A and B are shown apart, each in its own frame.
Chain A
Amino acid sequence: MACESRSPVVSAAHVELFAANRVVIVPAGIGLKPPLRIRGARIRAGRCAYPLRTLDPTGLILLGSGGPYTLGDLFDIWGQPLGRTVMAGFHASSRGRVSVFVDGAPWHGDPPAAPLAPGSQITVEVGARVPPHAGYTFPSLAWARS
């Protein structure tokens, strides 16, 4: 995947991260290269954008054309590790592991292979279990295209 100056947003997914019973904020600016144009908590634009990006710190992942994309693609662009025992620097206990839920249902494959499909709600947990949300009401993407 490349950082392109013209990379239209076509859909979105939502990702929630939990570690040790805490919410891990997915930051704004994943998949964007500076200089960034920022208004409040939202990024309006960057020099270039990857097909997966975040414009605000809410876990809303904007997807470009192409794909299919995976959770591993997102973490690769973010520059954070994701595996069976680690998630963004948070390590599972000796007997624990990273759990992934897709639309509320457990994902039994490798965490990085979980599909980041349009409209999906992904929950990634390490440590204490938090009941995952099964869905997400997505905003119109017009704000992300402006």
Chain B
Amino acid sequence: MGKVVIDAPRRAFCARLPRRTASAVRRRGRDTTLIAVVLLCLVPAGAARGDGDPASDVLLIQNAFYPYQPPPPAELEAALNALLSQARSAGMPLKVAIIGSREDLGAVPTYFGHPQQYAAFLDREISYSTKTPQPLLVVMPAGFGLAAAAPASALARVSIDAGARTSGLTRAAILAVSALARANGHAIAPPQIAGPTTTRRGGTPSAILFGLPVLLLILAGIPILAHRKRRASSQT
């Protein structure tokens, strides 16, 4: 099954495609401009039962799908996007779907926890044809899924910090893309990204999250220790 993109900037034209293009292409024959626009709007794909998962729609127009909630830190998202652009320029047009929860899977939530099965499903939806499957990486807390990208062994040394939620998944995706590029003979350096405590929009860095209670306990403990010392010295 293919997809017809009625995207915001060009939806008025694309919406008329079924009526206009067939007759116009027949009438004009070699109108390359029109054909180019047709190709822009008709994006073939193909799962037997439609389009219930958000990633299949987003990956038609973007190189990466990110979880809804919580969103990844903007700097990690930008780093992955830049890396994917770099990979595409180097001849590896990889798409990445980061799935943080069942809610990111829409009508097919049963794929959550099964990254490889979902990669196979999603690849059928977004591939141009069965002859040219779309290289795809799926990242879930449970692991990676690959389609037409490289053998799974290429990611043997890449781990996922699932505890870090979307940040951990996005970091793992960045490392995985670099590893896949290497496996395909492309020397693409992973971008410099901030440490794992980086958060966005008022999130609390883990150093504060875990350090603050410890500090409070220490501060609360000082008077207790002092009191005990006083008691001990008064008893002696």
Contact = CB atoms under 8 A, between A and B. Distances in A.
A50 interface: no
Contacts of A56: 54, 57-58
A130 B50 contact: yes
**Majority-rule SS of A interface residues:** loop
A39 B19 CA distance: 33
A28 interface: yes
B107 A133 contact: yes
B71 A143 contact: yes
Interface string B42-68: 100100011110100110111011101
Nearest to B125: A23
Residue with the highest number of chain A CB atoms closer than 10 Å, among B58, B66, B107, B201: B107
Contacts of B51: 16, 23, 59
Interface string A53-77: 0001111100000000000000000
A13 B77 CA distance: 27
Contacts of B150: none
Contacts of A18: 50
20 contacts: A18-B50, A19-B4, A19-B18, A22-B42, A25-B60, A28-B7, A29-B8, A57-B7, A57-B58, A58-B54, A59-B51, A88-B15, A91-B18, A121-B107, A123-B50, A130-B1, A135-B107, A137-B109, A143-B68, A143-B69
Interface residues of A, number: 45
A102 B233 CA distance: 79
Contact of B103 (A20, A59, A80, A139): A139
The 5 A-B residue pairs with the shortest CB-CB distance in the complex, in nearest-first order: A139-B68, A89-B15, A29-B8, A58-B54, A139-B103
Nearest to B16: A89
Interface in B124-169: none
A16 B54 contact: no
B3 interface: yes
Contact of B104 (A29, A133, A139): A139
A41 B69 contact: no
Contact of A146 (B54, B58, B201): B201
A24 interface: yes
A12 to B, nearest CB: 11
Given A22-B3, A57-B58, A80-B11, 10 more contacts: A14-B107, A16-B50, A23-B51, A26-B6, A30-B8, A41-B58, A57-B61, A89-B15, A121-B107, A139-B69
A58 B57 contact: yes
Nearest to B107: A133
B7 A27 contact: yes
